[in-house]
Structure 1
Amino acid sequence: MSSAVARGRNNGIFPIAITVVETESKETWTWLMTNLLQAISGLKDYGCTFISNKQKGLVSTFDELLLGANHQYYVRHMHANFKGQYKERIFKDEMWMATTSYIVHGFEQHIEKFWSWTRVHITG
């Protein structure tokens, strides 16, 4: 299942499109995005941000259909990927705390601990 949602004036989210596809691939993402662009005139002009979980074909579809669109990864999926790859809690915890902080100082404090840990433990 694939979906597109938007954020309203009260910061609530609401569904724009929901589809069931056989597999998540470049072809199905292209189909969804093409139909979405046709259904919502001016979508390219609104300064949209697309958030995904790194599905196959999605980034290249954005690059082809939405030149200049801002694309970000959903931090919950990144956190889950880190949990499987890195066993140390500080890595996962500091990344999560930084990205969910409501104040700049809190973000900076946690992201510095996160980067300090990565510089010591991750090579390449």
Structure 2
Amino acid sequence: MTIRHKPNPQIPASFQRFYLSFQAQKDGYLQGYRPFIGLDGCHLKSPYEGILLCSIAIDANCGVYLITLGVVETESLDSWRWFLEFLYRHVGVYESREVCFMTDCQKGTIPTLAEVWPNYNSRFCGRHILQNMMSRFKVDYLTIQFWHAANSSNLPEFLEAMEAIKATSEAAHLYLTRIPLESWTIHKFDTICKTDHNTNSVVEAFNSWLNKFRTLPMLTLMEKVRQKIMK
């Protein structure tokens, strides 16, 4: 834990950020989990508000595994940099593999990863890409074609799905081609982390797991997290 002393003793102390990860979580990830980490943030529902940030790994059976947890005042470039710097110091410096990060393109995640994590690649959540495409081009009927393209395990299937999208909406097709293929379609994924996840469902599952505790005060919330991890 890092404690930042307030620079002016005349200013009342106030809570800003909190970072939590036990040694067992670190050891478990480094010794037995895939080099795949999902990142996400969700709003706390207590009177004090704030954002809960987390990093989630998966095991050989695709089970959800919490590596680190943090609470910040808002989701921003600065708060993500703070969180990811701690994550790198906690597990990244011991990680010799290339790590794949799954994100929803949150504020600051990709630029910060480029700064603090030397050996990584990234994927974008397919549901997030689809939602942006649908809201921008009003093409709800392209959902099936999009998932055909995203889930294609080989190039011919992918090209066929993309042609179907282009025939329906050239604008949507152009939008997808501008997103790096290795970040959203399975046939272009790296082969190091051994998983074809193309959504951030592992993090959403964790957020759902914690949902009933998000109204609690900060220390009570963290104690509930500790108890659930122990179980």
Q: Provide the TM-score with structure 2 as the length reference.
A: 0.46
Contact 2:133 2:139 in 1 (8 A): no
Alignment of 1:1-124 (within 5 A): 1-40=52-91, 41-43=93-95, 45-101=96-152, 103-104=153-154, 106-118=157-169, 120-121=170-171
**Going by fraction, where is helix more abundant, 1 or 2?**
1
Q: Provide the TM-score with structure 1 as the length reference.
A: 0.79
Contact 1:91 1:114 in 2 (8 A): yes
Structure 1 unpaired stretches of 5+ = none
SS at match of 1:24: coil
SS at match of 2:102: strand
The CA deviation string for residues 53-105 of structure 1, in whole angstroms up to 9 with x for no partner, is 1111111101101134101211111111112112223433311232235x536
Query: Cα–Cα, structure 1 residues 12 and 109, in superposed 2: closer, same or farther, change >3 Å?
Result: farther
The CA deviation string for residues 20-68 of structure 1, in whole angstroms up to 9 with x for no partner, is 221111111111111111221423x221101111111111101101134
SS at match of 1:111: helix
Structure 2 unpaired stretches of 5+ = 1-51, 176-231
SS at match of 1:72: strand
Contact 1:82 1:92 in 2 (8 A): no
SS at match of 2:123: strand
Deviates more, 1:103-112 or 1:57-66: 103-112
Query: Cα–Cα, structure 1 residues 65 and 115, in superposed 2: closer, same or farther, change >3 Å?
Result: farther
Give distance in 1, aligned partners of 2:66 and 2:163. Answer: 36
Shift of residue 108 of structure 1? 4.4
Give distance in 1, aligned partners of 2:90 and 2:122. Answer: 20
Relative contact order: is structure 1 or structure 2 higher (C-alpha 8 Å, sep ≥ 6)?
Answer: 2
Give distance in 2, aligned partners of 1:20 and 1:94. Answer: 38
Give distance in 1, aligned partners of 2:142 and 2:83. Answer: 35
Contact 1:97 1:107 in 2 (8 A): yes
Number of matched residues?
121
Which of the two has higher C-alpha Rg? 2
Q: Which amino acid aligns with 2:94?
A: G
Identity of paired residues, percent?
24
Q: Which amino acid aligns with 1:94?
A: Q
